[in-house]
Amino acid sequence: MIFDRNENKVVSVLLGAGSMGTAILRRVCAGTKILFGDISEKKLVEIKKEYQGYGYDVETQIVDANSKNSIEDFAKKAASLGDIKYYIHTAGASPNQASAEKIIKLDLIGSAYALDAFGKVIAKGGAGLLVSSQTGYMWPPLTPEEEIQIMTTPADNLAELPCLKKITNPGIAYIVSKKANYLQVQYAATHSWGQKGARINTISPGVIVTPLAFDEFNAAGEGYQKMIDATPAKRVGTPDEIGAAGAFLLSDAASYITGTDLLVDGGTIAALKNGKFKLTGLDD
């Protein structure tokens, strides 16, 4: 049975097929061709079956989000399917899943590769969204000089920056990578993406419960509990709440918003800045 006879559909792309990314995608992808990218073939098979079951037109591609070549191939695949209207990027690793080196390579450098690759193929009027984290607002701050370096250094050379090479603590690597995400998006918004007539933003979720997040909770449950208890909202967030906020940033209602970050954290960072709780485990 043919569910959609429309031709020349615009394309919605998601790299990193997790709960928050799909929650955003579901709100914007109706009537588009969807391209999912992920490192896991099993996950891609499952998500293609699920979304075809909802009546969507779906393609998939295995993508190594650490690899410049793999990401560029993914961008070429997306462009071959039609005009790319939406690009959503969620690929990343948490501090309890990877080393500092791996986190910087995937969360920071890999994101830079994706911004570059999709900045070349995004359609005029298109919009992108990089899912970052509230941790980008946490200690330690980068100096103004280091922020400029991260913004302007080509992705291929980022690993050689002194401010990144010295990091050995996975927690610090994660914080710096998430700060770097919206620095890089600010730069992309005024250069490659802006020159294409497209918008790009970041969204920084707080403590959001997803199936994969339980690894983090099990590894650092006490710290997360203190954070949740200190948060004005007095609870965790849900993928659907990130979905609603992310869909707004991609929508025409946000057509004058680009190069910015939306913090969706229930007030966690406000609580941190006001001393209701303190970060631990970041001494080295």
Looking up residue 67, the CATH number of its domain turns out to be 3.40.50.720
* Residue 277 belongs to a domain: no
* Residue 40 belongs to a domain: yes
- Helix (H) or strand (E) holding 216, with range, is helix 213-219
In the predicted model, residues of the chain with pLDDT beneath 50 are 284
Q: Is the pTM of this model over 0.75?
A: yes
* Each residue's pLDDT tens digit, 9-58: 999 999 999 999 999 999 999 999 999 999 999 999 999 999 999 999 99
* Residue 3 belongs to a domain: no
pLDDT of residue 113: 98
pLDDT of residue 283: 54
* Rounded Cα distance, 167 and 192, in Å: 29
DSSP assignment of 186-201 equals HHHHHTHHHHTT-EEE
* Residue 38 belongs to a domain: yes
Q: How many separate domains does the chain show?
A: 1
* Residue 164 belongs to a domain: yes
* Rounded Cα distance, 33 and 142, in Å: 40
Q: Judge whether 13 and 123 are in contact, CB under 8 Å.
A: no
How is residue 8 annotated by DSSP? S
Catalytic positions, please?
174, 178
* Residue 228 belongs to a domain: no
Residue type, 191: H
* Residue 207 belongs to a domain: yes
Q: Judge whether 193 and 258 are in contact, CB under 8 Å.
A: yes
pLDDT of residue 220: 63
pLDDT of residue 187: 97
* Residue 230 belongs to a domain: no
Domain of residue 114, residue span = 11-213+237-266
